[in-house]
Structure 1
Amino acid sequence: MPAPAEASLQTHPWQRWGWVMGGVWLVFLAFPVAGVVDSGESRPRVVAGVALFVLFAAVYIHGFRTMARSASDAEVVRSGVTHLVALVLICVVIHLLVGPASVGGGPYLVALAMFVLPMWAAVSLTAAVVLTTVVVTAFSDALTDTWYLPGIVLLVAVVTGVVRAIERRSILHDELAAELTVSAERDRLARDVHDVIGHTLTAMSLKADVAERLVVTDPERARREIAEVGVLSRQALAEVRAAVGGIRSARLDDEIASAERVLASAGIAADMPTDLTVVDPRHRVVLAWVLREAVTNVVRHSEASVCRVALGPSSLTVEDDGRGPSGLREGNGLRGVRERVDAAGGVLRVLDASPGTRLVVTL
């Protein structure tokens, strides 16, 4: 039986009123109660027997209600075992008073045990109840009226066992779904932060190098480069905050402009598309992320002098004239690109352009 939190009890009627479904089956206690009335025992014993069956039903319902309001699995088990022991004791007293009618409580003991005890313990209790039922009915005059009870107990055990298995599988499914959600969010955050930091730090490093070279020969331009480093650092901080908050996105026109600036800072001639309307709006965000990482890789690893970018309705091509893909290792950046493309149902190919490398993404 699940252990819902208090907040869940206010929103899930099943956890508030599920005990009613358990209580419906108490109508079948009418048969052992009728057996008590027809037992031929003295009136006080009959009255006591009927009263004990009423108490049995009350404890059974109270057990389900208490377990539904438990805040942890441990509380569910503790409450269930307590009520189970009480029910067993009531059955023993009923047997001492009026005889074999007590076995009518067996199916309810098994049903409760299947929900609260470990499976081995629940199966052991089921076997004990079946054996007790067989022995009690075999040595009584009620054998012809109660021969079916062991079968009923086994049927209840099977049905509640199946319900328990389905319930546990549902809980496991929910836990796995939650873990997958957390894992997917962690991967998204890692990709976004890597793309933001990798691209911006590359641009900052290039501008810092330019400023260092020009600090003597062209101080004014060096100051401009240093000022741009400050702008980039603040931009990176804002983008990281947005990525952590889950609201970071990429705009294709912004990434085209950023790519031109980064390539220029690295001394790489840029051949960029000017008409972005050819790109399907549904694919622009993914292609913008891919462009950002692809250009960062060109600047970092290609040793190229020219970088060309081409766009299609659902495709992006980034080509350089550098050292080519031979020996290229798929690091976090390219791996992140592949994950984004795969998630969008696309294909990423890294080809030898002789000379240079051609990265092609098709969505």
Structure 2
Amino acid sequence: MTDAAEALTSHPWHRWGWLVGGVWLVFLLFPILNLLDLQSAPLPRVMGLTLIAAFAVLYGWGFVGVTRSEDGVPNGWRVLAVLTLLAAGTAAFIGIDALGMMPFLISYAMWGFRWPRGLWAASGFAAVAIVAIVAFGRPDSRFYLLPVLLVLGFTALMRVLDAFSARQAELSEVMAVVGERERVARDVHDVLGHSLTAISVKAELASRLIEVDGARAAEELDQVQTLAREALAEIRSTVSGLRATRIEDELEAARVSLTAAGIEADVPADAESVEITHRIVLAWALREATTNVIRHSGASRCVVELGPGRLVVTDDGVGASGAEGNGLRGLRERVSASGGTVTHGPGPGGRGHEVRVTL
């Protein structure tokens, strides 16, 4: 499955956003009724209905593109330009009543482009609608102002909330990194503060005992060496915890570790497809999953797949057996705290083992 396809299942908006946009197509019934009421030959009606049908299909297709994109739709301006031409063509048959298609143009413009560019485009369409009503409208044409302004206001509010949510997610990521660094700093301080104090005291004692009691001095020096090795191991453990917050480092570490264990490693070269808010959690997940492959799978090949909010690690080994280990249990708790899920079981075709993390 491609990253784009996987993105459709990673969030309710990606899965059902097309329905949110498509359900409103029922309101194209009004320009359709206006066409059917035309007192003219059948050909203009058929042409107008064809234009509206093309408008509906293109709008639906374009809105599916909106739900798949986090940062605007490729060629969005071209789609919007064709939609505008189709609406203008319909206006040639039903006149001011073609403004019933304007809310669709406003909605697509608002969601189809980066903020605030989408706001300016949508506001431009709303301004055109207002000018058309004032200049060419009938008394009852003012009815079109209500849906135009409601759609403009509602979609603008949703985009503002969406922008704030994205900003909050970025700040949360930054705070998580800061918090992790502070934790490491505390751990390093605690380890070094205790260990170096003990080493200093014992080294000083050993220096005093060298000429008085050589055996006792040697014993103290042995304890100094032991304390130094323990402190070094704790420092390395703490620093490795910090490094695990960088998924780029974990990708390289996974590739090197798997290869060193004699396992063919199919690992992505970079983590550009992973959303910034998910990188810390997926880095920990990648570390735990590849460690399990090396230790327990007996595999000859391991494949790592990354997406905007997912990690899949698949191997061709013996598969899982027995109860879930502490590593996977801890990973599940960490991922669950981030609002995600961890599933594991047989790989594709029932062979090997697969660990899937979805955020």
CA shift at 1:77, angstroms? 4.2
Distance 1:210 1:120, change over 3 A: closer
Distance 1:139 1:242, change over 3 A: closer
Q: Percent identity?
A: 37
CA shift at 1:195, angstroms? 0.7
Q: Secondary structure, in 3 states, of the residue corresponding to 1:99?
A: helix
Bigger radius of gyration: 1
The reply on whether 1:178 has 2:177 as its aligned counterpart is no
The within-5 A match list for 1:62-211 is 62-70=61-69, 72-73=70-71, 76-117=72-113, 121-137=117-133, 143-211=138-206
Q: Secondary structure, in 3 states, of the residue corresponding to 1:11?
A: coil
Q: Which of 223, 227, 230 pairs up with 1:232? A: 227
Q: Kindly indicate whether the alpha-carbon contact (under 8 Å) linking 1:193 and 1:243 is maintained by their aligned counterparts in 2.
A: yes
* Counterpart-to-counterpart distance in 2, 1:113 and 1:138: 23
Q: Kindly indicate whether the alpha-carbon contact (under 8 Å) linking 1:196 and 1:239 is maintained by their aligned counterparts in 2.
A: yes
CA shift at 1:209, angstroms? 2.7
Which consecutive unaligned segments of at least 5 residues does structure 2 have?
A: 243-359
The within-5 A match list for 1:239-254 is 239-244=234-239
Residue deviations 1:93-121 (CA, integer Å, cap 9, x gap):
22235433332211111112222345554
Distance 1:121 1:239, change over 3 A: closer
Distance 1:53 1:243, change over 3 A: same
Residue deviations 1:144-200 (CA, integer Å, cap 9, x gap):
443211232111111111111122222222222222222111111110111102211
CA shift at 1:245, angstroms? 5.9
The within-5 A match list for 1:37-76 is 37-70=36-69, 72-73=70-71, 76=72
Residue deviations 1:183-241 (CA, integer Å, cap 9, x gap):
11111111011110221122222222332333333221221111111111221133224
Q: Secondary structure, in 3 states, of the residue corresponding to 2:38?
A: coil
Residue deviations 1:21-68 (CA, integer Å, cap 9, x gap):
111111111001111222334322211111111111111111121122
Q: Secondary structure, in 3 states, of the residue corresponding to 2:39?
A: coil
Q: What TM-score, normalized by structure 2, do the two folds share?
A: 0.60
RMSD: 2.7
Residue deviations 1:276-311 (CA, integer Å, cap 9, x gap):
xxxxxxxxxxxxxxxxxxxxxxxxxxxxxxxxxxxx
Letter in 2 for 1:133: A
* Counterpart-to-counterpart distance in 1, 2:239 and 2:78: 48
The reply on whether 1:28 has 2:23 as its aligned counterpart is no
Q: Secondary structure, in 3 states, of the residue corresponding to 1:10?
A: coil
Counterpart in 1 of 2:317? Answer: none
Distance 1:11 1:118, change over 3 A: closer
Q: Kindly indicate whether the alpha-carbon contact (under 8 Å) linking 1:80 and 1:112 is maintained by their aligned counterparts in 2.
A: no
Q: Secondary structure, in 3 states, of the residue corresponding to 2:74?
A: helix
Distance 1:67 1:123, change over 3 A: closer
* Counterpart-to-counterpart distance in 1, 2:27 and 2:208: 93
Q: Kindly indicate whether the alpha-carbon contact (under 8 Å) linking 1:36 and 1:46 is maintained by their aligned counterparts in 2.
A: yes
* Counterpart-to-counterpart distance in 1, 2:228 and 2:7: 45
* Counterpart-to-counterpart distance in 2, 1:170 and 1:198: 41
The reply on whether 1:220 has 2:215 as its aligned counterpart is yes
CA shift at 1:135, angstroms? 4.4
